[in-house]
Structure 1
């Protein structure tokens, strides 16, 4: 990379003691900025550190001396040095007097866009995101030069603070043949953007710091006229733009929509969801996380749709080493529903970016291409149907569905944390990769999640049928939904059916699907007792009865009296005790009537 910074011109505006100290500094070439505040010691900032340049505080005369050597300050309190890229920013008091200066070094670094050269040449609009100081303006300047000089395009730069092409009427050579339009006041930037398109017939518009709603609308207008846009915006990631109502239009805008019953069931979501309103203004987004590491979203529309659906996108991560070799990797982050033992894939290629052609469904959101894996690819899993339940089990279908008891939660959390620390994948009964990814259709996700957590099953619920190993659906829905059967057949995904969305049937089906028959596990009836309570009191009462039976009545052979409870709660405790083949009776008068458990 070739570095041009005209550093001597910046040093010439500083007071003599500060200039002499900097000229002798061993890290002068990596200087970022010099800060001079009234009544404080001058400070030089380098990558990762800062140090004082003098023990003498800055005086008003020092500030005035530097101000006279720079250009005029604009409405954004920025000035520059003619024919350089340096930026001088002022801090004013309430009377409008300058009481502080930030002298930032501007460098023209040629070759900084090697990581995204292919994207620049594609002709698509690019949005650069990143924290201050990461190099967004430097990259923007180099993109303008490459497009103008090497690709022979008509490029116009909207230079609001003269930071891209430098101060003065003659632009800095770093932008090549690109033309520069200055902005008299920052609030007029959107007008100059439209003027550039209407008067100067550009093929590319370069904009730095899109920060207002009017500028976002102007950018959309320019993009709809067929002009390539290259710009920067405030924010580190695309998620920041989604949450920013001022700039969300850059990524298509966000609106709340109400889904139909069938679509909400298919997605496994609420009926009111967030959706993208329109195509994004920018086709490509680049998150500049570090100077040598950029995250590239080549399909902004698909990325936004995935984020709104609660799924993690699959961006490119491009890095460059000291020799200029570019490495492109793909990391498929697990989505929220896949965070427990989810799988990830990565691939890398040197020099040439890895291109993946995603497919879009009719609804307009990203779905990865189907890939054979796990049980489906091995052919060891077959479509099955749940066996009919006994009359005793069917009585539990009408029980309420609520949160798990604290004891089960604590046990499961310990098991999950222990498994995650070991970092090992345990193969399933048929040699498949676990956890098993299940796509529920018409089955209560809440009940499914309860059963999975309570029984500690190696199951992950997914909202994407292409990532599923099996479909768990209600039998009535499968009969009336030919599209689901067609999708499952085309993707070789087996469908496992339930007669009703109840805790016993879900538990029975998951065990059957996983080929599990562990007698140590609670059966469906016991499981249902622990998820049927609709309050903390009921859960506490059931846990009290369980502990009394397992810790006193059975091991010590002693009867136990429980705390007074209501009639409904005592009935639930009686049912739990019967499961242990023990006897229990209620005694006492209301409201102190309570349960007594007898040993066998």
Structure 2
């Protein structure tokens, strides 16, 4: 039986707020109602329903101002963030306005409480570590966050406080949605005041866990660090898709420790085999664990954010866990080496002549990764976190040798490997090497 069987969406209440001809069309569509993500109504355009895998027009009649006003009359008031909801539901209605402030477009997003979604990261939640969720819009970040809050409060019996800026986690109205269980919810008067409410929650309500959706400003990042330093477990989401993106975001990089440029002495630079100016992590990360949500049933987990950030700054591919859930609800865990994106800000760029294969910059790719193919998001499946790179596919068909150079110019060795097309990579730790090369 799938863990997705128990779903609460109150979709009838959302459909009841839409014009009758749009509601009738949605109910008559042969698509699975559980796949409906949102309904879009823009003035002068055809209404549209967006499902997980397709989009459909709902009428051959254009949306009128009367249709938009019909919906507005049946929902709550819009806040400063142009979001509204339906009391005691998780649905969110977002407005688009013209320059005069008149609402001319609506995005009616279906909110669902899906019980069991947390199983894919439940072991991480139970450790008490702070967890940061990343992902594109529509990948289920808020749904996973809501279920995590419920499990922490009801099953693990912890004191959980949710800072609900847009009433998206616990629903609209003063009475929270039952999808958050015993967790308490603090509403935020204005989005700009979220950081203040985060601190207030810790000072006034003695929580063991703080749950935050959409950390997006420097003040909120600073508030999150303050909370973590007080020993409170944090579970939150942030704007960003991957760890790489978060590291080069000047506003939010502090969540993973921040980055600073450090100038090394001549001897230390020679010992490391790097340039004199390198990038290093500035401070301990606010969050201990980072989860990249790729879809509802697939996530990538970095269970040690500090080690992952340090590896990226050294030019290495950080070890990660690829977790997926099959149709029966069974979670499969696979250890991978996540190849990095093209990130010049991190001293790394992908050589177009190699199809996105080799890294150059701060350490000229000396971090244990040889040539790679298939684009910057390629993952090597099935390997252990401590294994070297896969066979490069160039040169001879033999196994890839992992060379540890001692007293040898790393740059010259890399050039020789490239020119001769030798199936070899350079590693930074002798424990990972299959051979040692030295002139001493």
| TM value normalised by structure 2 | 0.87
**Offset, 1:441:** 3.5
Q: Which has more strand, going by share of residues?
A: 2
Partner of 2:244: 239
Where does the alignment leave 5 or more consecutive residues of structure 2 unmatched? 340-358, 360-364, 374-378
Q: For structure 1, which runs of at least 5 residues remain unmatched after alignment?
A: 349-355, 357-367, 373-415, 427-433, 473-495, 499-600
Of 160, 164, 185, the residue aligned with 2:169 is: 164
- 1:240 & 1:454 partners in 2: Cα distance? 33
Which residue of structure 2 lines up, in the alignment, with residue 564 of structure 1? Answer: none
Distance 2:326 2:400 in 1: 37
2:111 corresponds to: 106
1:261-301 deviations in Å (ceiling 9; x for gaps): 33322322111100001110000000001211111110000
In the aligned structure 2, how far is the partner of 1:451 from the partner of 1:339? 13
CA contact (8 A) 1:149 1:176 kept: yes
Change beyond 3 A, Cα 1:450–1:26: closer
Q: Secondary structure at the match of 1:301?
A: helix
Match of 2:370 in 1: 339
CA distance in 2, matches of 1:120, 1:165: 19
Q: Is the 8 A contact 1:70 1:79 kept in 2?
A: yes
Change (3 A) 1:60 1:345: closer
SS at match of 1:171: coil
> Given the alignment of the two structures, is residue 185 of structure 1 paired with residue 150 of structure 2, yes or no?
no
Instruction: After superposing the two structures, state which structure 1 stretch, 225-234 or 46-55, moved more.
Output: 46-55
Q: State the alpha-carbon separation in 1 of the partners of residues 195 and 297 from structure 2.
A: 32
Q: CA deviation at 1:341?
A: 7.8
CA contact (8 A) 2:407 2:439 kept: no
Aligned partner of 1:440 in structure 2 is 405
**More displaced, 339-348 or 41-50?**
339-348
Structure 1 residue 314: deviation in Å? 1.1
Matches of 1:455 and 1:147 in 2, distance apart?
56
- Greater helix proportion: 1
1:11 counterpart = 2:47: no
Distance 1:247 1:180, change over 3 A: same
Does 2:58 align with 1:22? no
Cα drift, residue 468 of structure 1: 2.1
2:351 matched to which residue of 1? none
| Secondary structure in structure 1 of the residue aligned to 2:319 | coil
C-alpha contact 1:341 1:435 (8 A) present in aligned 2: no
Quickly say closer, same or farther: Cα 1:22–1:454, change in 2 above 3 A: closer
Alpha-carbon separation, structure 2, partners of 1:297 and 1:231? 15
Contact 1:268–1:441 (CA<8 Å) still a contact in 2?
A: no
CA 1:3–1:240 in 2, change beyond 3 Å: closer, same or farther?
same
Quick check: 2:370–2:426 contact (8 Å CA) kept in 1?
Answer: no
CA contact (8 A) 1:112 1:142 kept: yes
In the alignment, the residues of structure 2 paired with residue 449 and residue 295 of structure 1 have an alpha-carbon distance, to the nearest angstrom, of 31
Supply the distance in 2 between the matched residues of 1:63 and 1:51 (Cα, whole angstroms).
Answer: 19
After superposition, the Cα gap between the structure-2 partners of 1:30 and 1:497, relative to the gap in structure 1 and judged at 3 Å, is same
Correspondence 1:311-350 to 2 at 5 A: 311-332=316-337, 336-337=365-366, 338-340=369-371, 346=382
Distance 1:308 1:197 in 2: 33
Residue aligned with 1:32, SS: strand
CA contact (8 A) 2:334 2:381 kept: no
Give, in whole Å, the separation in 2 of the partners of 1:325 and 1:452. 43
Shift of 1:344: 6.2
Q: Which residue of the partner structure matches residue 532 of structure 1?
A: none
Q: Report the counterpart of residue 436 of structure 2 in structure 1.
A: 471
| Separation of aligned partners in 1, 2:216 and 2:406 | 43
- Residue-by-residue CA offset, 1:387-431 (whole Å, 9 max, x unaligned): xxxxxxxxxxxxxxxxxxxxxxxxxxxxx99x54x9x742xxxxx
Q: Deviations over 1:321-363 (max 9, x none)?
A: 1111111111235784532389967269xxxxxxx8xxxxxxx
Partner of 1:512: none
Partner of 1:501: none
In structure 2, relative to structure 1, the CA distance for the partners of 1:341 and 1:16 (3 Å cut) is: closer
Q: Say if 1:85 and 1:107, in contact at 8 Å, map to a contact too.
A: yes
Q: Larger relative contact order (C-alpha < 8 A, sep ≥ 6)?
A: 2
Q: How many Å separate the matches in 2 of 1:233 and 1:453?
A: 40
8 A contact 1:265–1:441 mirrored in 2: no
Is 1:53 matched with 2:58?
A: yes
Distance in 2, matches of 1:251 and 1:333, equals 17
Count of matched residue pairs:
402
Deviations 1:62-99 (A, max 9, x none): 11111010001001000000000000000000011100
Structure 1 residues 285, 267: closer, same or farther in 2, change over 3 A?
same
Q: 2:376 maps to what in 1?
A: none
Instruction: Report SS of the residue matched to 1:113.
Output: helix
Q: 1:177-576 alignment to 2 at 5 Å?
A: 177-332=182-337, 336-337=365-366, 338-340=369-371, 346=382, 368=386, 419-420=393-394, 425-426=397-398, 434-472=399-437, 496-498=438-440
Q: Deviations over 1:416-469 (max 9, x none)?
A: 99x54x9x742xxxxxxx432222234322322333334443432223333223
Q: Which residue, 111, 127, 148 being the options, matches 1:143?
A: 148
**What is the alpha-carbon root mean square deviation over aligned residues?**
2.2
Task: Give, in angstroms, the shift of residue 140 of structure 1.
Answer: 0.4
Larger Rg: 1
Q: Which TM-score applies when normalising by structure 1?
A: 0.64
Distance in 2 separating the partners of 1:63 and 1:211: 30
